C-alpha cells in the first residue's frame, strides 16, 4: 500500500511537472534558444500567446530568440495571426519556425515578419551553415496572418495582411529528420533589448499520413 | 600596312567567333551533357535562340547550355524568354550569375520552368546543394525576367505575357567579382534538348553601391 502511495505521488509530481511546460495551448514548451543575454518569456491566456524575445538575430550561423514549440512528425500546417507590440529594431522578426533541435546553429526553416512589415522565408539547410533568405516586397507593418505548410521537404509560406486570407508567396526545400520541432519565434535583433509579439488564432494541424494501401 | 590590316581582320574574325553574341562574349555547354547545346544570335533582331540539354541545374552539379560574359560590381539583366519546344515541365530558362564554368560552381539564377513555375535558386559554395525558392505556378507563356545585383543583394522581377514587371523580392549572395553573367537553358533530361528564344536582352552596368568602397 505504501508503495502504491509513493507511485501515486510520483505520478502526481510528474503530471505537475508536465503541466508546467504544458499550459501552452497548441505547444508544449517555451524557452530561449542560443542563450540571449536578456531572458525571454511566454504567456498563454485566452488562446493568445504574448511572446517576449531578445537575441542578436536568427541569421548567419547561429540564432538567439524565444521559442514556443512542440514536437511533430510528418506533414503539417501551422497558422497564426501576429502583431508586434511596441517599438523596436526595423529587422526584429517573429513568425513560425520548424527546427531540427534547440541548438543555436540547428537546421531550420521559418516564415517571419520583420518589424517594418517585410515578410521573409529563411532557412539553414544544415546544422552550422549560413542562413539563406528570400525577402518579399511589403508596404509597412500591420497585423499579419502567417501560415507555414510542410509537405515532405517542401516548406510553403502564406501571408495575409489586415484580415485578408493568406496567399501563397513561395516555397523552399529543407530536409529534416523526423521528428521536428514546430512553433512560434520572436527575436529583437539586438542583444540589449527585447520585443513582444502577440500571436492569436494559432493552429497546428498534423496531416494524417495516407492509409497504407491494401496488400 | 597590308599585313597589319590582315592581322586586324584575322583578329576580328577570331573575336567574332566568340563575340557574335551581342551582349555576351561566349557560348558553351556546362557540365558536358551528352547532347550538345548551341546558341544562335540574330544581330538584326537582337534575339538569341539557345538550345540546351542536361539533367538539370540542381543539387550538387549542373548541365546546361550557357551564353555569358564576365562582369564585376553592380548590374541589371533583363530578357524575355519563351520556350520554342515541348518538353519536361521542369526544363529551365535562366538568367545565370556564376562564379565559373565548373559543373559544381557557386551560382544564382532567376529561372522560369517550362510549366511556368518561377524560381530563384542558388548554390552558395562549390559542390554544395542547390537552394530553391519556388513561386506559385502561373502556367506556360512568354516571360519577362529581370535580375539586379547591388552589392550582395540580388533582386528579381517577373512578368507574364506582356504584363508590367512586378518585384518578387530579394536575396543576398556572396558571389563577388568578377563573375560570369548570362542566359542558360537546361532540358531537365539528358535525352532531349530544349530551345528557348530570348529577346529584348539588356545588360547594364550600374554605379557602385553608395557607401561601398570598390
pLDDT digits (tens, 9 = 90+) for A128-149: 999 999 999 999 999 999 999 9
Residue of A nearest to B157 (CA): A137
Asked if B131 lies within 8 A of A132 by C-beta distance, the reply is yes
Asked if A170 lies within 8 A of B136 by C-beta distance, the reply is yes
Q: Does A130 touch chain B (CB under 8 A)?
A: yes
Q: Would you say residue B41 lies in a domain?
A: yes
What pairs with residue B133 in β-bridges? B120
User: Nearest CA to CA, how far is A215 from chain B (Å)?
Assistant: 33
Asked if A172 lies within 8 A of B124 by C-beta distance, the reply is no
Taking a C-beta distance cutoff of 8 angstroms, is the pair A159, A110 a contact? no
The predicted complex's ipTM stands at 0.88
Q: Would you say residue B6 lies in a domain?
A: no
Per-residue pLDDT of chain B (214 residues; tens, 9 = 90+): 455 554 444 443 333 346 678 999 999 999 999 999 999 999 999 999 999 999 999 999 999 999 999 999 999 999 999 999 999 999 999 999 999 999 999 999 999 999 999 999 999 999 999 999 999 999 999 999 999 999 999 999 999 999 999 999 999 999 999 999 999 999 999 999 999 999 999 999 999 976 544 3
Which ranges in chain A belong to alpha helices (H)?
Answer: 2-22
d(CA B201, CA A188): 43
Instruction: Write out the residues of chain B at the interface with chain A, using a CB-CB cutoff of 8 A.
Output: 120, 122, 124, 129, 131-136, 167-172
Asked if B131 lies within 8 A of A136 by C-beta distance, the reply is no
> Would strands A41-45 and A48-55 be described as parallel, antiparallel, or unpaired?
antiparallel
Q: Would you say residue B153 lies in a domain?
A: yes
Domain count, chain B: 1
Q: Would you say residue B149 lies in a domain?
A: yes
Alpha carbon separation from A128 to A56, A105, A188, B93, B152 (Å, rounded): 17, 5, 21, 33, 21
Residue of B nearest to A134 (CA): B171
CATH number, domain of B63, equals 2.60.120.200
CB contacts of A155 in chain B (<8 Å) are none
d(CA A41, CA A51): 6
Q: Would you say residue B194 lies in a domain?
A: yes
CB contacts of A168 in chain B (<8 Å) are 136
Q: Which helix (H) or strand (E) holds A196?
A: strand A190-206
Q: Would you say residue B37 lies in a domain?
A: yes
Q: Would you say residue B17 lies in a domain?
A: no
Q: Would you say residue B162 lies in a domain?
A: yes
| Span A7-16, pLDDT tens digits | 554 444 443 3
Asked if B170 lies within 8 A of A135 by C-beta distance, the reply is yes
d(CA B91, CA B85): 10
The end-to-end CA distance of chain B, in Å, is 42
CB contacts of B171 in chain A (<8 Å) are 132-135
Backbone angles phi, psi at A157, to 5 degrees: -120, 130
Q: Show the domain range for B112.
A: 24-206
Half-sphere exposure of A164 (CA within 13 A, CB side): 10
Amino acid at each position: 500500500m505504501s508503495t502504491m502511495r509513493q507511485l501515486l505521488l510520483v505520478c502526481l509530481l510528474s503530471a505537475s511537472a508536465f503541466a508546467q511546460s504544458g499550459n501552452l495551448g497548441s505547444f508544449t514548451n517555451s524557452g530561449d534558444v542560443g542563450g540571449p543575454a536578456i531572458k525571454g518569456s511566454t504567456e498563454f491566456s485566452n488562446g493568445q500567446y504574448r511572446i517576449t524575445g531578445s537575441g542578436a538575430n536568427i541569421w548567419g550561423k547561429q540564432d538567439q530568440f524565444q521559442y514556443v514549440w512542440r514536437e511533430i512528425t510528418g506533414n503539417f500546417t501551422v497558422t497564426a495571426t501576429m502583431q508586434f507590440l511596441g517599438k523596436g529594431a526595423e529587422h526584429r522578426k517573429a513568425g513560425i519556425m520548424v527546427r531540427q533541435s534547440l541548438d543555436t546553429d540547428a537546421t531550420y526553416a521559418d516564415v517571419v515578419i520583420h518589424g517594418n512589415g517585410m515578410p521573409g522565408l529563411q532557412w539553414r539547410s544544415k546544422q552550422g551553415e549560413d542562413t539563406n533568405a528570400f525577402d518579399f516586397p511589403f508596404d509597412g507593418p500591420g497585423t499579419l496572418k502567417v501560415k507555414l505548410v510542410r509537405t515532405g521537404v517542401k516548406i510553403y509560406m502564406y501571408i495575409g495582411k489586415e484580415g485578408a486570407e493568406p496567399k501563397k508567396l513561395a516555397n523552399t526545400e529543407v530536409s529534416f529528420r523526423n521528428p521536428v520541432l514546430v512553433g512560434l519565434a520572436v527575436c529583437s535583433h539586438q542583444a540589449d533589448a527585447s520585443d513582444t509579439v502577440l500571436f492569436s488564432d494559432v493552429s497546428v494541424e498534423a496531416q494524417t499520413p495516407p492509409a497504407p494501401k491494401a496488400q | 600596312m597590308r599585313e597589319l590590316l590582315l592581322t586586324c581582320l584575322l583578329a576580328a574574325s577570331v573575336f567574332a567567333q566568340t563575340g557574335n553574341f551581342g551582349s555576351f562574349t561566349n557560348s558553351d555547354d556546362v557540365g558536358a551533357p551528352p547532347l550538345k547545346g548551341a546558341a544562335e544570335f540574330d544581330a538584326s533582331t537582337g534575339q538569341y535562340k539557345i538550345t540546351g540539354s542536361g539533367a538539370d541545374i540542381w543539387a550538387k552539379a549542373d548541365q546546361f547550355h550557357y551564353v555569358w560574359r564576365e562582369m564585376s560590381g553592380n548590374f541589371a539583366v533583363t530578357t524575355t524568354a519563351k520556350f520554342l519546344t515541348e518538353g519536361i515541365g521542369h526544363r529551365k530558362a535562366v538568367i545565370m550569375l556564376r562564379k565559373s564554368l565548373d559543373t559544381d560552381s557557386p551560382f544564382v539564377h532567376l529561372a522560369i520552368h517550362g510549366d511556368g513555375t518561377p524560381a530563384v535558386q542558388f548554390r552558395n559554395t562549390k559542390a554544395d546543394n542547390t537552394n530553391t525558392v519556388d513561386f506559385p505556378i502561373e502556367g506556360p507563356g512568354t516571360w519577362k525576367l529581370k535580375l539586379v545585383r547591388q552589392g550582395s543583394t540580388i533582386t528579381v522581377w517577373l512578368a507574364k505575357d506582356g504584363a508590367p514587371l512586378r518585384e518578387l523580392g530579394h536575396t543576398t549572395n556572396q558571389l563577388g567579382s568578377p563573375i560570369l553573367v548570362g542566359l542558360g537553358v537546361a532540358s531537365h533530361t539528358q535525352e532531349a534538348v530544349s530551345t528557348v528564344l530570348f529577346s529584348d536582352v539588356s545588360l547594364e552596368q550600374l554605379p557602385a553601391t553608395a557607401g561601398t568602397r570598390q
